[in-house]
Each structure stands twice: as structure tokens, then as C-alpha cells.
Amino acid sequence: MVVFWILATCMALVALGVVLVPLLRTRNEITGPTARDVTLEVLRGQRQEIEADIAAGSLPAEAREEALAELVERAGADLPAEPASPKPAAPPPGKPWLAAAVVAIAIPLLAFGLYAVIGSPSATDPKALQAPAAAASHDKELVGMIDNLARKVRERPDDARGWELLARSMMSLGRFTEAAEAYAHLAKLVPNDPQILADYADALGMTQGRSLLGKPRALAEQALAIDPKHPKALALAGTAAMDAHDWVPAMGYWQRLAAVVPPDSQDATQLRAIMDDVRQRAGPGVTFPAATQVAQAAPPMKAAPAKADTAAKADTAAKADAPAKAGAAPPASAISGSVTLAPGVGKLDGGEHLFILARAEGGPRVPLAVVKLPASVLPYQFALDDSQSMAPGMNISSAQAVRIEARVSRSGNVKPQTGDLVGTSDVVKPGARGVKILVDKVVP
């Protein structure tokens, strides 16, 4: 940063020198020869001609004195009289100090002002310069850990917890095909788990170009047959029904989801906007049942059949399903709050993704919890807990202090890219509520 500003200052001084030196240089008055000087020069020339004629023999030597006398006489008549006193010279023009002062102030102000407006002042901040490199290094370490996890779980095909971590990690990295494969394997290990089925549907839909038609919709409906109030399954099923223009079923899914979220929450506000959109797109000829009728018509929850498998699988299924149950109390270590995009920090075109990561303050940079969402959800109310950990033993409840980072990725990649938007929270403890994150910086 210091070198940059030294060079910028030197360039500004050079520019000032180019402008000010000619402006302040003294201009000497340019005067031409007088009439007396011209006459004397002519007489000198005529005398030289007389001497040359005598030397050449064209003029007799005895005529020299007569010719010179005649020249002197003519000189006395032609030369103007010598002025009694010299005419005072005109004073030299004054130097334009006022104009020079204006230029000396205007050029630096204009240069540095334009840079502040259209340049990248934050690029000279050493912290801003170090942040992308450090983040890239940390994310490279994260990718390596996940690849190592993938190798290990493939060696242990019955490790349900390992496959669950692998599937969630692949989703966070945007490697949706690998995530869908991991969820497909996990669904065989832990069948009839609504959370796993919903996550599987989500991953499979991403591999289909964000389309939930076909098998993703069937998986979401399968999850709802087990738990009719499962929030993610309801949202996926409602989206799939809208994609298929099945407006009445779509409205039913959204009404059921609205019944399980707090009525004064931001989620409820978004759901009301979605239901209004369904009504408009369906047209006036479509009649929708009342929300109470939809709730009464919802199928009862089916208990998942008992597995004669290992106790570890059953425990994994319970852990995976627990956070999604409507009305379940969040874990005591869960951190919740809001992410807001600062006005004017950047324009979103709709294809960006929002990553929310929890990192241990002063500890390893591997995230303790990760959430990936479409950036269109901003402003967003988030909640991070141990169910979103990406590595065994590294979770929020095991940390003493945590910092939350929110990053809007334009590429959808977990690695920071130039132009991404980022914001961080203050250091908080596990269990903190009301954490506020303002996304107000641009990755240079």
C-alpha cells in the first residue's frame, strides 16, 4: 500500500511540474534591431565593398580617401540622432501566481478524487489484499479434507454418519452430482428418513438444472408421507407442483408449510407472497381450499419401520430428522441471527448463492457449520447448529468463540472469487441469538 501511494504521489508531482514550470517561467521581452543599427550595418557593408574594389584593382588607390570621405558624409546624413537617454524597458510581465496555485490544488484533487470514485481504494488495504489469499488457502484445505472424507467413507460403505457428512459437504461445495450419489447411498442405509429424502430430492434437483420434476418431486412426496409437516419437503413439493403448473396441490403444500412456521416471522411473509403468486398465475377460474381444510386433509404421519440394522444407523436417522421437526426447540448451542445486504454494495442478477459459515475464532479455519442458499432469500434469518457440521468433532458446540461469515458467491463456488460480496459478524459464543451480519464488502 505504501509503495502504491508513493508512486501515485510522484506521478502527481510530475504532472504538476509539466504544467507549472512553463507557466511560471519568466518570459524575456523580444525586441528587434533599431533604425540606427540597420543604417550602420549598411555603411559597414559599403566600406567593405570599397576596400574590396581597391584590392581587386577596379578602383584606383588614390580614389580611396575620396570614396571614404564621401561615405562618411553620407553616413552623417543617414544616421538618426543618438537619443539623449535610453527609453526605459517595459517591465517584464508578472508571473501568474493565482493560476499556478489553482492548478497546483486542482490536479491532485482531481486525480485522487477520480480514483476514489471510479477506482478501487479498498484494493490498497493490506487486509483486503490478504483476505482472498487466506480464504483461498483455507478453502483449498477444506476441499482437501472433503476429498479425504470421500475416500474414507467409500472404504466403509455401512458408515451412515460418514455418508451423511459427505453428502452435506458435497452440497456445500456445489458438487451436486456427487452429493446426489452420496444421498442415494445414504437413503439405502437409513430408509424412510424424511430429512434424508428431502436432502436427496434437493441434490437431485440441482443436477437436473434446478428442476424438481420427476424423481425429486417423488422423493419429496415420499418424505411427506412419513412426516406431513416436514418444512423442507413441503417447500420442495410446493416448488415442484408450481413447476408442473399444478396450482391446487402447490397451494396446499404452501398452506401446510405456512401452518408450521411462526406467523410473524420473515418465512411467513415470504410464504404469503408465494401464495399470492400462485393465485395470480392460476387465474380467477381456479378455486383453492381454505388453509384449515388443507390441514385437515393432510395425511397422518407414518412411523418409520424399525430397522434390524446397527444402532449407529438408527441414531444417525434420529439426529438427521430432529432439526426439521416443526416446533422442535433449537439446540442450546445453536447460533441464529440475520444476514442483510448493504445498499449499493452490489447488484444481484438472481443467479448468486449465499454461503453462511461458522468458524472457530482463533482455531482451525475449517467451518464448523455451513449453509448454502440462493441469494434471492436475502435478507435472511439463519440458524446454525451441530447438524450442519462438515467434519466429525468440529461443530459449534465444541467451540469457545465463533465468528459467522456470510458470502454472496456469483459463481456458486465455495471458494471466494473476485466480485463476491462478504460480511462478517462480531465474535460470539455458541448459543448466541440475534447475530447481525451486514454484507458490505466486495472481494477484490
For every residue of 394-408, DSSP letters joined together read: BSGGG-SSEEEEEEE
d(CA 320, CA 28): 91
d(CA 192, CA 302): 9
Q: Measured between alpha carbons, how far is residue 13 from residues 7, 10, 21 in Å? A: 10, 5, 12
d(CA 192, CA 198): 11
User: Could you read off the pLDDT of 315-325 as tens digits, one per residue?
Assistant: 333 333 434 33
Q: What pLDDT score was predicted for residue 307?
A: 39
Q: What pLDDT score was predicted for residue 93?
A: 55
The secondary structure of 110-148 as a DSSP string is: HHHHHHHHHS-GGGG-HHHHHHHHHHHHHHHHHHHHHHH
Question: Cell for 442?
Answer: 466486495
Cβ burial 232-245 (10 Å sphere, 16+ → b, else e):
bbbbbbbbbbbbee
Architecture of domain 329-442: Sandwich (2.60)
pTM over 0.75: no
DSSP 3-state of 345: coil
Q: What pLDDT score was predicted for residue 225?
A: 92
CATH number for region 156-297: 1.25.40.10
Contacts 24+ apart (CB under 8 A), 397-401: 397/331, 397/333, 397/430, 398/368, 399/358, 399/360, 399/361, 399/363, 399/368, 399/430, 400/360, 400/361, 400/429, 401/360, 401/361, 401/362, 401/427, 401/428, 401/429
Stretches where the chain sits below pLDDT 50 are 28-30, 84, 138, 300-329
Bridge partners (DSSP) of residue 73 are: none
Q: What pLDDT score was predicted for residue 116?
A: 66
Q: What pLDDT score was predicted for residue 165?
A: 84
Q: What pLDDT score was predicted for residue 159?
A: 86
Q: For the chain, give every domain's residue range.
A: 2-24+97-119, 35-78, 156-297, 329-442
Question: Cell for 270?
Answer: 415470504
